[in-house]
Amino acid sequence: MQNSLASIILFHRKRSGLTQQKLAELAGVGKNLIYELENGKQSVRLENLLKVLRVLNIELDFHSPLRESFLRESPDAEC
């Protein structure tokens, strides 16, 4: 999965016409983080990953066999 995430980030950055430096500036992270993400680094802070994904308009979606039950039963669940 990590390699596919790296490919997705790289693809979206290039399609957006952004350099690694510009994406880093827009996301409020270091340029090295963008390089590391695009090269499949396996350990990055979730908050920094989410900043980059927001700038690129990429959403995370979690799948689980209990997802529908969770959405129905949890008062904090977002629909």
User: Domain boundaries in the chain?
Assistant: 1-79
pLDDT the model gives residue 3: 61
Hunting for tokens 């904090």 — which residue is that?
76
1-79 belongs to which homologous superfamily? lambda repressor-like DNA-binding domains (1.10.260.40)
For the stretch 14-73, pLDDT in tens is 999 999 999 999 999 999 999 999 999 989 999 999 999 999 999 988 888 998 898 888
Residue 36 CB neighbours (<10 A): 16
Extract the tokens encoding 15.
């399609």
Extract the tokens encoding 38.
């695009």
pTM of the model: 0.80
